[in-house]
Structure 1
Amino acid sequence: MIGILFLMSSINGRCQERVAIQINSYEYQNELSENIKIYSFEINNMSSDTYMTWISDEWTDNLSDEQLIRNYFFKHHGDFTLASLIYEGLNSPKPVTIGLNFIKSIDTNEKFTYYILDPSKVNYYKNRIIILKRKDVEDYIKTAIPTNYLWHNNSIILK
């Protein structure tokens, strides 16, 4: 439970006051009578700004917003960066890969939820969920992010 509180503090430190993070856990029994626990991190954008969220492939403690954006959009994955694909107008690579090309835009009064199926991975995601203003991200990369690069569902399940 302590890890969850740190996650909430960590995420809240990166976004404005009007973006709320609610952390829940759910327990149920599966068909084998095993107790299963699922965690959810619900992001509720109550601000007038649009926010973006993604999951970094590396620990993000003590990184500035600019470093977070640079690490995600300009880090080389093979022969390309996510930013270079966007600049070239190429289709988003499929399938969507966490830490590589997953981006969700959260509009005003919209919610987005990360579900974590493995309780042992809560600490893994602790400082990897990024929430930044969309305008700040697009100003830094100097282009608008096309809708075909965005996750369109209101949740995603992380294993």
Structure 2
Amino acid sequence: MDLDDDSSPALAFEKDAFELTVEDVYDISYVVGRDLLRISRAGEEELRMERDNLKSQLDRMLTERMQVAGANQMVVDLSDPNRPRFTMHELKEVLQERNHLKAQLMLAQEELQLYKSKILPLSQEPMVEVDQKHNNGGAGKADEEKTTIGKLFSFRRK
């Protein structure tokens, strides 16, 4: 094995392709691998720095948005399909109205069963009184939207 000027791995790049030995090919692959490793490490560092910068910008923007919105306000992303659409008060009103209507329905169903079984005659006054504010007989659009559910879903009629 010759230990002259040919011992440096970088000198293998200067040789003609037909003069390369197996050791020269190994030297070339060593140099290329070393350079690739150095490049990839530098790229990872740059990516980490960029990621950290973006995270800090995001945190700063969120902090600014929270300061603008105030302590008692909530920031809502309008593109989020799972965002809240109603206030808690509106939701409570809707649930109360639903429960009221459900109770009326159950009473009406019981009364219907009594009529079907002929326990109650048809000429008797109904046992269930229908709330006129929920059943306005088509009196008009303004009366119809008085219920909470009607208010919340009025956008569908427009």
Please indicate the TM-score interval, normalised by the length of the shorter structure.
under 0.3
Q: Which has the higher helix share?
A: 2
* TM-score (normalizing by structure 2): 0.19
Q: Which has the higher strand share?
A: 1
Q: Determine which structure has greater relative contact order: mean sequence separation of CA pairs < 8 Å that are 6+ residues apart, divided by chain length.
A: 1
* TM-score (normalizing by structure 1): 0.19
